A = this chain, B = another copy of it.
Amino acid sequence: MALAHLSIVPLGTGSTSLSPFVAACEKELQLHGEGLKYELTAMGTIIEGDLDRILTVIRRLHEVPFEAGAVRVSTSIRIDDRRDKKGSIDQKVQSVKEKL
């Protein structure tokens, strides 16, 4: 089980609005993200699950802006992979909140 933070940004599209591209990626994630948990935030999408499945779905999501007409895409991925303990989206946030 790993967590990943994902941001996919098309460059040179002529519009400053990214939400159509983000929505298209979210739809693809809904279609192909079986077994994964995900959460949309204002700065990206957090995905929780098996790392190989996460990377497979990210590879697919990276194509979405190209399919929508973009010719340059900048994709940022940050993986947090912890193997001494089960980490999850809920547990990580909870663990901090308990200390506040």
Contacts and interface: CB of A to CB of B under 8 A. Distances in A.
Interface of A: 3, 5, 7, 9, 11-20, 22-23, 26-27, 39-44, 46, 48, 51-52, 55, 59, 62, 66, 71-85, 88-90, 92-93, 95-100
A73 B71 CA distance: 19
Nearest to A77: B77
Given A9-B11, A11-B18, A16-B12, A27 B100 contact: yes
Given A59-B55, A99-B19, A41 B93 contact: yes
A83 B12 CA distance: 12
A81 B75 contact: yes
B18 A78 contact: no
